[in-house]
Chains A and B, each alone.
Chain A
């Protein structure tokens, strides 16, 4: 009976010692624990403030991006419209060119006028579809040269009152060259 009593007392003693150690550790580290908790709260607050700041910044960036996109798209739309207008004008100018050749060279076969006009359109499309600026300029120069040659020849033909060659030879030579 004494053995059981001793054993129970030992167990109780160990339990109390464990509790005492726990309490001592807690009282020793209370200040540090409090400090750590405080630091954690401060860090959380700082993170919150940073996140809030970043959110406001991104909202502002979105607003700027929206405005920029709208402006760019409106400009691009205007550019596209102008592009179509320019292309239409070019086509009309080429049609006029064909008419002027046919008026100057009265006996010029339709096939020749068609070939000249078709070639001019081909040069125009090459110029329009060129991705590189240098290439675009080169094709534009070719088109201008071609158109000016046609005008020159038609003008000479009219000035000579049809005495020179019956066909726009220089223009046809340019077509062969291209």
Chain B
């Protein structure tokens, strides 16, 4: 309706301008000035009306969008989406918690094994030390120190196979000496 009115005003303004031209052609001096003012006023009024119609339409659209957003249907739909996301989150949380539990359980078990390995390596090292001390008199100082150094190095590196080989070598040396 407002747009119709604005268009009507524009048409009237054009008609007034045509009338002004016609009056000027007829050489009537007084009326054209007043009619030009009226035409301009009609144009401005039409522009103001169009602008207000635009603002009104934008406001109407905003209000419609807002009412749709706050409508029961949309609220329920959002609530459903939220619940669905929560359900997925719970499933993920359970998975990650079980992975975490598994990880810490494995870590605890490995710590137990490491402590046990350390204790038994210590026992083996003590046995090697004892054998080496027994052989100290029969071995040259350089050889003895070399064996001690190898022993310390293997112990530091927790090299089980090397320590076992060392003990076997020392046992062989012991047997040779006995022969």
Residues of A within 8 A of B (CB): 44, 47-48, 51-52, 54-55, 58-59, 61-62, 65-66, 69, 72-73, 76-77, 80, 83-84, 87-88, 91, 95, 98, 109-111, 114-115, 117-118, 121, 125, 128
Cα distance A41–B120 in the bound complex, in angstroms:
82
- B113 lies within 8 A of chain A by Cβ: yes
Q: A65-B87, A65-B90, A73-B97 are in contact. Are A110 and B80 (CB under 8 A)?
A: no
**B90 to A76, Cβ gap below 8 A?**
no
Cα distance A125–B110 in the bound complex, in angstroms:
10
**Which residue from B73, B83, B126, B168 sits with its C-beta under 8 Å from A111?**
B168
Cα distance A54–B81 in the bound complex, in angstroms:
11
Among the stretches B23-31, B62-70, B101-109, the one at the interface with A is: B101-109
**Which residue from B76, B94, B97, B124 sits with its C-beta under 8 Å from A114?**
B124
- B159 lies within 8 A of chain A by Cβ: no
A48: which B residues are within 8 A, CB to CB?
Answer: 72-73, 76
**B83 to A55, Cβ gap below 8 A?**
yes
Q: Please tell me the size bucket of the interface on B.
A: 35 or more
B87: which A residues are within 8 A, CB to CB?
Answer: 58, 61-62, 65
Q: A47-B73, A55-B80 are in contact. Are A111 and B124 (CB under 8 A)?
A: yes
A128: which B residues are within 8 A, CB to CB?
Answer: 109
**A111 to B112, Cβ gap below 8 A?**
no
Interface class of chain B by DSSP: helix
**B80 to A54, Cβ gap below 8 A?**
yes
**Which residue from B94, B112, B117, B127 sits with its C-beta under 8 Å from A84?**
B112
Of A52, A69, A117, chain B has the most CB atoms within 10 Å of the CB of A69
A80: which B residues are within 8 A, CB to CB?
Answer: 101-102, 104-105
Q: Could you name 15 residue pairs across A and B whose Cβ atoms are closer than 8 Å?
A: A51-B76, A51-B77, A55-B79, A58-B87, A61-B87, A62-B87, A65-B90, A73-B101, A80-B102, A84-B112, A87-B112, A88-B112, A95-B116, A111-B167, A121-B117
Known: A52-B76, A84-B105. 5 other contacts (CB 8 A): A77-B101, A110-B167, A114-B120, A118-B120, A118-B160
Shortest Cβ gap from B127 to chain A (Å): 3
Shortest Cβ gap from B164 to chain A (Å): 5
**B94 to A73, Cβ gap below 8 A?**
yes
Cα distance A72–B102 in the bound complex, in angstroms:
13
Cα distance A83–B164 in the bound complex, in angstroms:
31
Q: A48-B73, A83-B105, A84-B108 are in contact. Are A59 and B83 (CB under 8 A)?
A: yes
- B86 lies within 8 A of chain A by Cβ: yes
Q: For residue B123, which residue of chain A has the nearest CB?
A: A110
B91: which A residues are within 8 A, CB to CB?
Answer: 65
**Which residue from A59, A62, A84, A114 sits with its C-beta under 8 Å from B164?**
A114
